[in-house]
Chain A
Amino acid sequence: MTGRHNRPPSLTVVPAPAADDDHREGGGLDWSKLMARAQDGDRRAYRALLEDLAPYLRSIATRCFKEPSDVEDAVQDVLIAIHVVRHTYDRSRPFGPWLLAIANRRMIDRIRRDTRRKAQEIALSTEHETFPDSVANLVAADFDAAALGVAIERLPPEQRQAIEMLKLNEMSLKEAAAASGRSITALKVATHRAVKSLRRMLGQQDR
């Protein structure tokens, strides 16, 4: 105790909010009456109802979903369902169970759908991310196409022809043999030598 009050705190009597048509005795909006008026086409009542329901539905959805975006999606899903089946609300019955039944139904459906989707999806591992990554695919770009062209030009004519036909134009040995009039063995030997010479020439350049 730090001290003594000389005067007791003054208490003021606040009048309870007047219970109009849309309010319950406790002060909150009467959803049942709002829905009944919404069914008759009163858009103002309908807006008041939906705006009042949204935070309540959000509090239910937070218990089922972790991500804020999932929570908001679930709230919207329930609001749409309420809109679509609003003619099933019986004015003589309480609004709460009707609302909760729809909310539970839609959220369970959503959880089931999410579970099914997650069961079919695989989370990306580091390999999946590495291979499509641009850094991992620069080997081909480093390759100096111009230097190779110059090196091929410097090859002896038989080797150059063999390389051009078999490697650059991707002809088969048979096709290349028919086109050049040389034997398959000669082409094979020429290609082998050409690759060897190219490797030597490009290797020298690198050094």
Chain B
Amino acid sequence: MKTPDLIDTLVDCATPVRPLRPPLVRAALWLLFAALVLAIIGVAHGVRPDLAERLRQPVFVVAMFSALATGILAAIAAFKVSLPDTSRSWLLLPIPTVVLWISTIGYGCLTDWVSVGPDGVRIGEAARCFASLLLTSVPLSIVMLVMVRHAALLRPTAVCMTGGLAIAAITSFALSLFHDLDATIMILVWNLGSAALIAGLAGVFGRSLLAWIASRLMPTALS
């Protein structure tokens, strides 16, 4: 196909498009959706029974809110970086809170080390925990992928990694809000494990998923 012919084709299918809202607004919309998902799960499942007591422990509070902050900052970074003409340094935005979040988990491990008992982990709680994990992360992932689909042609890996981190952090926040998994290993598995799993999956499959969603939903008749 010659370039003038391609221009003819592109002009023929140039329907009016609505420019994207500013990235901060879009991040806020996504976070609003995340809050809605968490609220629904909270109503259905109820918060963990010992939440009030745990909120008095500084390490727990720091861990929980650094996860939340990571989620918020990573979401902002993902929406910023999904635009072609924004600086890649936005990727560094969630780094401080990620470091804080991971270091508090490590500290919790060390202090809780002794309290791991034979009945510290129950299968029933673990299964419910896994259900919450899916209920939170799956809708958030789908909405995120749809919202940043245009990045498929631009910076797919960077957007998938930051988007994945945002989802993982929000999921981790949700888990510590709803489930009383005090055992060190479970905290590690669920917090770091789920974060790593989601971020890893986003990195590996995000690119092709993004491309697939982009091909379905892009405002173009090109095929």
Q: Which of A90-98, A134-142, A185-193, A194-202 contacts B (4 or more CB under 8 A)?
A: A90-98
Q: Does B6 contact A (CB under 8 A)?
A: yes
B1 close to A87 (CB less than 8 A): no
Question: How many Cβ-Cβ contacts under 8 Å join chain A to chain B?
Answer: 89
List residues of chain B with CB within 8 A of the CB of A50: 7, 10-11
B residues 10-35 in Cβ contact with A at 8 Å: 10-20, 22
List residues of chain B with CB within 8 A of the CB of A72: 2-3
Q: Does B153 contact A (CB under 8 A)?
A: yes
Q: Does B218 contact A (CB under 8 A)?
A: yes
Cβ of B90 to closest chain A Cβ, rounded Å: 13
Which chain B residue shows the least CB distance to A44? B11
A79 close to B14 (CB less than 8 A): no
Interface size, B (range): 20 to 34
A51 close to B7 (CB less than 8 A): yes
In the bound complex, CA of A98 to CA of B12 (Å):
23
Interface size, A (range): 20 to 34
Cβ of B24 to closest chain A Cβ, rounded Å: 12
Give the secondary structure class of B's interface: loop
B residues 68-97 in Cβ contact with A at 8 Å: 82-85
Q: Does A29 contact B (CB under 8 A)?
A: no
- Whether A39 contacts B16 in the complex (CB less than 8 A), given A50-B11, A79-B10, A84-B218, comes out as yes
Partner pick for B3 among A43, A47, A54, A106, CB 8 A cutoff: A54
Which chain A residue shows the least CB distance to B214? A84
Q: Does A41 contact B (CB under 8 A)?
A: yes
B residues 153-177 in Cβ contact with A at 8 Å: 153-155
A-side interface residues toward B, CB under 8 Å?
Answer: 38-41, 43, 46-47, 50-51, 54, 72, 75-76, 79-81, 83-91, 93, 97-98, 101-102, 105-106
B-side interface residues toward A, CB under 8 Å?
Answer: 1-4, 6-7, 10-20, 22, 82-85, 150, 153-155, 214, 218-220, 222
A-B contact pairs, 7 of them (CB 8 A): A39-B18, A41-B14, A50-B11, A84-B222, A85-B154, A88-B19, A97-B85
Given contacts A46-B11, A88-B84, 4 further A-B contacts (CB under 8 A): A40-B16, A41-B14, A47-B7, A83-B222
